[in-house]
Amino acid sequence: TTTSTTTILGTEFIARTIANNINSISKVFGIVGVPITPIAYALQKEGIEFYGFRNEQSCSYASSVAGYLSAKPSICMTVSGPGMVHALAGVLNAMSNGWPMILLSSSISTNDIGKGAFQEAEQLKLSTCYCKKSFNVIDINQFPDILKEAIETSVHGRPGPVYIQLPTNVIHSKSVEIPTPMPMANISVAKEPIEQPLIDSTIQLLKSSKKPLIIGGKGASLARCEDQLGQFVSQSKIPFLPSPMGKGLIADDSEYVVSAARSFALKNADTILVLGARMNWMFNFGSSPTFSSNVKFIIIDIDANESKSNVNIVPTIGIQNDINQFLLQLNQSWSNHNNNNNNNNGYQEWWSQLKPEIESKSKLLLQLLKQPQINTTDYLTYHQVYNQLVCSKLFDAEQTIFVNEGANTMDIGRLCITHNRPRCRLDAGTLGTMGVGVGYAIAAAIVCPQQKVVCVQGDSAFGFSAMEVEVAKRYHLPIVFIVLNNNGIYEGLESMEDPKYHESTRSAALSLPPTSLSFDTHYEKIIEAFGCPGFYLDNLVDIDRICQQITSNQVELPCLLNIKIKPTGSKPKIVH
Ligand code: ADP
Ligand code: MG
């Protein structure tokens, strides 16, 4: 008369619960150690992929960006204390960028709190600063409900990180009954219709303005609104300006994209429709002199703090909703409205001002890109290298995810590389996090296996997480890593002849500029240590040859190209 119940170990129960929700989870990343190692084994037993990293910092960066790419949280699994604290870097990064992720960390046994236990830290308290919500699992039977709520919290509203803490005594629970049915997370976002008067007044404002502009950012990418956006831009003929990671929402080479005239467009626009981009430091807080002082903002954001009670600007119209939903309704109503002003001529006057600006800026960029390297011994510039990578077809605008970080490496890369699809540019983001590149590339290759991943970093940026190339090798991820090596942070010294490098004493090294790193480091040897191909390149002919080999599948991936570029704009003054 009694129904038989299955009992399993706590570690297996945790894995089973994750497996049960796997359709709402991107991937599981982590670094094992006491007491979480058996959870990773149990996950494998459940058929769940577990990707092991080298440092929790990179692992958490990978988790954060996996959420952006897949619209599902990934799990970043760490040990207690230092493991959890290292992962906070990625948690903060996820919070700042608005990306879903779950940090799942062990903690010391509840009975040991305050005794100085192994890897004891105030984890829960720390997590609350940068997480949407933090959970402490007191009894393992709570875990299914907590995981469900954590997954849902991470994706609903503005996405972000959620923390789940598993005390050691809970992980070590024995004989756990499996509840049937197990709770399953629902990550589909309910699309509430927007009241028609709000749509109507948006259209009226846009149609009555002379110089409207659309800004599209990461929120628009997250909303996966590219089809509706493309339709809206071509029917309204309103110029489109992407944020750095909004690139590709409308193809960069489309006639409607005004990136080349960014400053001019921002300064002269009279009405700006903001789709999923915060008016933070990246847009000078929405204020002059970047914007005209009487510009009107229409803000569409899933987050009420952005759309309604914005800290930086007062929107003329603020709509708290999903961007795809908004554009759907906007597209349906746009042509129903009268065009007593200028909508029929497609803002021709505005375009006649933007077009020459775009042309002249594009011409300037082209000059920098097309500069020949006269002697193979001449230092290469960023522009020359990027141009060669494009000409050698390393970037395929249709199917490449481009990870790009560093200072100049990132800023110049943003201008030189074009994208035809959204969510294909991954950079230091809202927080300006340096060191994300290798972790991002690994996550991109795992989450988007049909894409090519090219990761271009400065030598300093690469140094933050260089060891993670071993992870790329271990999982056979076909990533092309490229280090633009200028001997330093921003820039380095130009020559070994420099007495500061020449004298091999510590005091000489201490008088080096704080921006300089070691001269002419052979970063390609780092990946060679793992049996992968590495190349040291200092001229365009060799770069072209290696890129040709890569694109014709003659080079095993992952590989690393260490490209020597001009360390400084001008020879640094040597102080004797
Ligand atoms: P960017 O760095 O590209 O300018 P931000 O990260 O500053 O972009 O801004 C993204 C904004 O998009 C956030 O304010 C976030 O709340 C919002 N957002 C995220 N998802 C959606 C969505 N589905 N619909 C509307 N807004 C969204
Ligand atoms: Mg550098």
**Which atom number of ligand 1 is nearest to the Cα of residue 222?**
20
pLDDT for 97 equals 98
Q: What is the distance, to the nearest Å, from the Cα of residue 388 to the centroid of all Cα atoms in its chain?
A: 25
Our mutation pick for probing the ligand 1 site, out of 155, 303, 313, counting the most ligand atoms within 8 A of Cβ, is 303
- Check pLDDT > 70 for residue 2: no
Amino acid at site 115: K
Query: How far, in Å, are 6, 403, 410 from residue 219 at the CA level?
Result: 44, 18, 21
Q: For ligand 2, an ion, list residues with CB under 5 A.
A: 458-460, 486
Label residue 431 by pLDDT band (50, 70, 90). Answer: very high
Task: Indicate which ligand has the atom closest to the C-alpha of 457.
Answer: 2
Amino acid at site 229: L
Q: What tokens were used for 441?
A: 């590339």
- Check pLDDT > 90 for residue 572: no
- Check pLDDT > 60 for residue 77: yes
Q: Residue 378, class by beta-carbon neighbours within 10 Å (0-12 exposed, 13-18 middle, 19+ buried)?
A: middle
pLDDT for 190 equals 76
Which of 252, 224, 222 minimizes the C-alpha distance to 240? 252
DSSP 8-state secondary structure symbol assigned to residue 185: -
Measure 394 CA to ligand 2 centroid, in angstroms.
22
Span 44-59, average pLDDT: 98
Measure 568 CA to ligand 2 centroid, in angstroms.
10
Which residue has tokens 């400053």? 263
CA–CA separation, 354 and 527 (whole Å): 46
41-76 as b/e, with b when 16 or more CB fall inside 10 Å?
ebbeebebebbebbbbbbbbbbbbbbbbbbbbbbbb
The residue whose CA is least distant from atom 5 of ligand 1 is 277
Helix axes 226-236, 323-334, angle to 10 degrees: 30
pLDDT for 338 equals 72
Which 3 state secondary structure label does DSSP give 358? Answer: helix
Measure 484 CA to ligand 2 centroid, in angstroms.
7
Task: Indicate which ligand has the atom closest to the C-alpha of 491.
Answer: 2
pLDDT for 509 equals 83
pLDDT for 3 equals 55
pLDDT for 502 equals 66
Structure confidence by residue, pLDDT tens digits, 151-209: 999 999 999 999 999 999 999 999 889 988 999 999 987 789 999 999 999 999 999 99
Percent of the chain residues past pLDDT 70, beyond the cut: 95
Task: Indicate which ligand has the atom closest to the C-alpha of 523.
Answer: 2
Q: Are 543 and 537 in contact (CB under 8 A)?
A: yes
pLDDT for 573 equals 39
The residue whose CA is least distant from atom 27 of ligand 1 is 219
Q: What is the distance, to the nearest Å, from the Cα of residue 183 to the centroid of all Cα atoms in its chain?
A: 30
Label residue 571 by pLDDT band (50, 70, 90). Answer: very low
Span 76-97, average pLDDT: 98
343 vs 336 pLDDT, higher one: 336
Query: How far, in Å, are 14, 125, 281 from residue 234 at the CA level?
Result: 49, 49, 30
Label residue 539 by pLDDT band (50, 70, 90). Answer: very high
Tell me whether the omega of the peptide bond preceding residue 356 falls within 30 degrees of 0, making it cis.
Answer: no
CA–CA separation, 267 and 508 (whole Å): 48
Measure 564 CA to ligand 2 centroid, in angstroms.
10
Count Cβ atoms below 10 Å from residue 518 Cβ, excluding itself.
13
CA–CA separation, 560 and 565 (whole Å): 15
Q: Are 271 and 211 in contact (CB under 8 A)?
A: yes
Task: Indicate which ligand has the atom closest to the C-alpha of 463.
Answer: 2
Q: What is the distance, to the nearest Å, from the Cα of residue 402 to the centroid of all Cα atoms in its chain?
A: 10
Q: Are 222 and 248 in contact (CB under 8 A)?
A: no
Amino acid at site 15: A
CA–CA separation, 331 and 429 (whole Å): 30
Lowest average pLDDT, out of 54-63, 179-188, 303-312, 343-352, goes to: 343-352
Q: In the chain, helix, strand, coil percent, each to 5?
A: 45, 15, 40
- Helix residue ranges, H only, 278-322: 304-307
**Which atom number of ligand 1 is nearest to the Cα of residue 189?**
23
Spell out which residues line ligand 1, taking CB within 6 angstroms.
97-98, 158, 217-219, 222-223, 243, 245-246, 276-278, 280, 282, 301-303, 306, 322-323, 430
Task: Indicate which ligand has the atom closest to the C-alpha of 308.
Answer: 1
Span 93-114, average pLDDT: 97
The residue whose CA is least distant from atom 3 of ligand 1 is 217
Structure confidence by residue, pLDDT tens digits, 20-38: 999 999 999 999 999 999 9
Measure 483 CA to ligand 2 centroid, in angstroms.
9
Lowest average pLDDT, out of 74-83, 168-177, 432-441, 505-514, goes to: 505-514
Label residue 341 by pLDDT band (50, 70, 90). Answer: low
Q: Dihedral of the CA atoms 205, 207, 209, 212 (nearest 10)?
A: 100
- Check pLDDT > 60 for residue 354: yes
Which of 458, 574, 454 minimizes the C-alpha distance to 521? 458
Our mutation pick for probing the ligand 1 site, out of 97, 191, 218, 280, counting the most ligand atoms within 8 A of Cβ, is 218
pLDDT for 138 equals 97
DSSP 8-state secondary structure symbol assigned to residue 110: G
Label residue 475 by pLDDT band (50, 70, 90). Answer: very high
The residue whose CA is least distant from atom 9 of ligand 1 is 277
Which of 525, 419, 432, 530 minimizes the C-alpha distance to 475? 530
Lowest average pLDDT, out of 267-281, 346-360, 370-384, goes to: 370-384
Span 360-377, average pLDDT: 94
Structure confidence by residue, pLDDT tens digits, 201-233: 999 999 999 999 999 999 999 999 999 999 999
Our mutation pick for probing the ligand 1 site, out of 278, 414, 433, counting the most ligand atoms within 8 A of Cβ, is 278
The structure's pTM equals 0.96
In DSSP notation, 508-539 reads HHHTS-TTB--TT--THHHHHTTT--EEEE-S
267-297 as b/e, with b when 16 or more CB fall inside 10 Å?
ebbbbbbbbbbbbeeebeebeeeebeeebbb
pLDDT for 574 equals 38
**Which atom number of ligand 1 is nearest to the Cα of residue 217?**
3
Label residue 344 by pLDDT band (50, 70, 90). Answer: low
Q: Are 183 and 149 in contact (CB under 8 A)?
A: no
Q: What angle do CA 335, 339, 342 make, to 5 degrees?
A: 120
pLDDT for 576 equals 34
